[in-house]
Amino acid sequence: MANLELRGAFTALVTPFSEDGTAIDWEAYEALVRAQVEGGISGLVPCGTTAETPTLSDEEQVELIKQTARVVGGRLPLLAGTGSNSTVKTIKSSKAALAAGADAVMIVMPYYNKPSQDGMRQHVKLVAQAVDAPVVLYNIPGRTGVELSVETTLRILDDCPNVVGVKDATNNVCYCQDLLRQAGDRVTVMSGDDPLTLPMVSVGVRGVISVTANLYPKQISDCVALMLAGRWEDARRAHFALWPVHRALFCEPSPQPIKAALELKGRMRAVMRAPLVPASGACRERLTRVMREYEGS
């Protein structure tokens, strides 16, 4: 089983689409991935929430991972999102992602059917047993309707030695503290919320799986590096400079704002697949303002 170093800034990649939204814009996607590599990002996450994965076909997801692996050429670890609310489908998608070039898989807690804590544990256990690769859990109750508890996470770590990390998008700093206090170095936690990365790293989180890094890969990478080096004054300064950008990128359902920001920079179209819609005019105006202020600072 391959090792996965979860540390630093990973980018939760967006998926650019053609003008009518029916196809992936591969030219824009390759340019996005290359910009991440050149910006010093520590790892890439294709097919996550930011990729609009629920609207991608199984074939498109596999091709995204293949093309990411081709462009990266082994220079960065690839952590592919493969989770769904079906355990059987998640296993199938995880195996396909690994065959396509992913180094590890990230599985979101099952949404809509609202499993119990034991149901989530069984889901993870079956997936982890089915793949010979590192597994990262994705805890994002705001989107799934269920929250993986610390107690259940600890039971999973007991049962599944290849579960090595957690993407914590609980939107607070309590879950990660309780988990790290009890689990210690048995698991690596990554922030799933750009605005919370600084306080989370201060209590032992190892980095971020970032939306903002699509737009500013070097700046996010450098900011997280300052945090991990314990250069807190410099880290706070860099973090607070990015704060208005982080907030603007979540003023509407993600990834609507990040795609609008990338379009404003001329890097791709801000085309969304339904049921998501392009960012509003007010959102684009806010993004234009905070980006101008940040880049001029």
Q: Find the angle CA(259)-CA(106)-CA(28) to the nearest 5 degrees.
A: 30
Q: Which of 29, 138, 175, 216 is catalytic?
A: 138
* For residue 256, pLDDT beyond 90: yes
- Within a 13 Å sphere around the CA of 122, how many CA atoms are in the beta-carbon half? 9
Tens of pLDDT along 132-162?
A: 999 999 999 999 999 999 999 999 999 999 9
* For residue 2, pLDDT beyond 80: no
Q: Which of 29, 89, 167, 265 is catalytic?
A: 167
Q: What is the mean pLDDT of residues 19-24?
A: 97
Q: Quick one: CA dihedral 275, 246, 107, 47, positive or negative?
A: positive
Tens of pLDDT along 76-117?
A: 999 999 999 999 999 999 999 999 999 999 999 999 999 999
Q: Is 138 a catalytic residue?
A: yes
Q: Which run of H or of E encompasses 208?
A: strand 207-210
The pLDDT of residue 139: 98
* For residue 53, pLDDT beyond 80: yes
The strand pairing partners of 139, in sequence order, are 168
Q: Which domains, ranges and CATH numbers included, belong to the chain? A: 8-229 (3.20.20.70)
Q: Is 89 a catalytic residue?
A: no
CB 251, CB 257: distance < 8 Å? yes
Tokens of 84: 């769904």
Output phi, psi for 152, to 5 deg.
Answer: -70, -40
Output phi, psi for 175, to 5 deg.
Answer: -55, -50
CB 260, CB 284: distance < 8 Å? yes
- Edge-to-edge strand list for the sheet holding 8-12: 43-45, 8-12, 207-210, 188-191, 163-168, 135-139, 104-108, 79-81
Token pair 């079906």: residue: 86
Q: How far apart are CA 257 and CA 118, in angstroms?
A: 36
0.95 surpassed by pTM: yes
Nearest partner of 81 among 60, 73, 237, 117, judged by Cα? 60
The pLDDT of residue 1: 61
